[in-house]
C-alpha cells in the first residue's frame, strides 16, 4: 500500500511522535497539586539509578502517585437545571440532612447526595452546577473514615455555597477521610464556576456531600458509581 503523501511544507510524522500523541490522549493529565508528590520519588529514582531496587521503587511510587492525582477531561451535560456529580466514586448516602452550620442555610433538612472516594478514584472535585461562589468556609475537625455518616459533622471539611443564575443555592462539601489530611479548594468568593469545572482536590481518600434546594429531584441511588462532571445526580426544581 502506498504511503499517503505529506502536504507540501509539512515534515513527515515520525513514528515516535505518533506514539507520543497516542500516549497524551490515553493518559490523563496530572493535577498541579500532585507535581511535588510525583517529583519526589522520581528524584529518588534518579539518585538511586545505580541501585536497581531503589530505581524501581522510585518509579513505581511516582507512577502510583501520578495515578492518584490524575485529572481526566470530562464533558458535562448541557441540559438545563441538572446537577452533576462533584466527584468520581460510590454514592454512600441519598437522604435529607441539615447542611453545615457555617453555610447559613438554616436548620431544615435538605436533599443530600454523599459520594465516597476510595484511594483508587479520581480525587479532583468539580462544580455540581454552574454558578457564583457565595461562601467558602474551612472547618477543622477529626479524621474519621469518610464512609461513616458522622463524618459529615465531625470531620475536617471545606464547604462551598454556589448560587445558580436562577437563584438556586447548592452547597458542596469536601470532607477529609481517614488518610486524607489536606483539602485543596482553589475557588474563592465571587468566582463564577461553569458546571463540571474543577475547583479542588482531597488527598488520599475522602468524601464529597452535595446539599440541594428543597423540591429537588434526586436521580441516583445508594451504591451507584458516579463520574465527576458527567453523572447527573439531580434535577433542580
Distant-in-sequence, close-in-space partners of 13: CB < 8 Å, separation ≥ 6 = 6
What is the number of other CB atoms lying within 10 angstroms of the CB of residue 140? Answer: 8
Q: What is the pLDDT along the chain (237 residues), one digit of tens a residue?
A: 444 454 555 444 455 555 445 444 445 666 666 566 656 666 666 776 777 776 677 666 656 565 566 668 899 999 999 999 999 999 999 999 999 999 999 999 999 999 998 878 888 999 999 999 999 999 987 766 666 666 677 788 999 999 999 999 999 999 986 665 578 899 999 999 999 999 998 876 689 999 999 999 999 999 999 999 999 999 999
What is the number of other CB atoms lying within 10 angstroms of the CB of residue 199? Answer: 22
- From residue 81, how far is each of 42, 141, 196 by CA, in Å? 45, 33, 13
Catalytic residue IDs:
206
Amino acid at each position: 500500500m502506498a504511503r499517503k503523501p505529506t502536504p507540501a511544507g509539512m515534515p513527515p510524522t515520525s513514528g515516535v511522535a505518533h506514539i507520543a500523541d497516542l500516549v497524551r490522549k490515553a493518559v490523563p493529565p496530572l493535577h498541579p497539586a500532585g507535581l511535588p508528590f510525583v517529583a519526589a520519588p522520581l528524584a529518588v529514582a534518579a539518585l538511586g539509578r545505580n541501585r536497581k531496587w531503589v530505581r524501581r521503587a522510585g518509579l513505581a511510587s511516582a507512577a502510583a502517585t501520578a495515578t492518584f492525582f490524575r485529572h481526566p477531561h470530562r464533558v458535562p451535560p448541557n441540559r438545563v437545571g441538572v446537577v452533576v456529580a462533584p466527584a468520581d466514586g460510590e454514592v454512600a448516602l441519598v437522604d435529607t440532612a441539615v447542611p453545615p452550620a457555617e453555610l447559613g442555610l438554616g436548620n431544615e433538612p435538605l436533599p443530600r447526595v454523599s459520594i465516597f472516594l476510595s484511594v483508587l478514584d479520581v480525587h479532583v472535585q468539580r462544580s455540581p452546577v454552574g454558578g457564583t461562589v457565595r461562601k467558602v468556609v474551612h472547618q477543622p475537625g477529626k479524621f474519621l473514615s469518610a464512609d461513616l455518616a458522622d463524618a459529615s459533622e465531625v470531620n475536617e471539611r471545606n464547604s462551598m455555597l454556589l448560587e445558580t443564575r436562577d437563584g438556586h443555592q447548592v452547597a458542596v462539601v469536601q470532607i477529609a477521610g481517614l488518610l486524607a489530611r489536606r483539602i485543596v479548594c482553589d475557588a474563592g468568593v465571587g468566582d463564577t464556576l461553569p458546571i463540571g469545572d474543577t475547583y479542588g482536590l482531597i488527598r488520599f481518600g475522602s468524601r464529597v456531600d452535595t446539599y440541594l434546594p428543597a423540591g429537588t429531584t434526586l436521580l441516583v441511588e445508594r451504591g451507584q458509581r458516579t463520574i465527576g462532571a458527567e453523572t447527573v445526580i439531580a434535577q433542580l426544581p
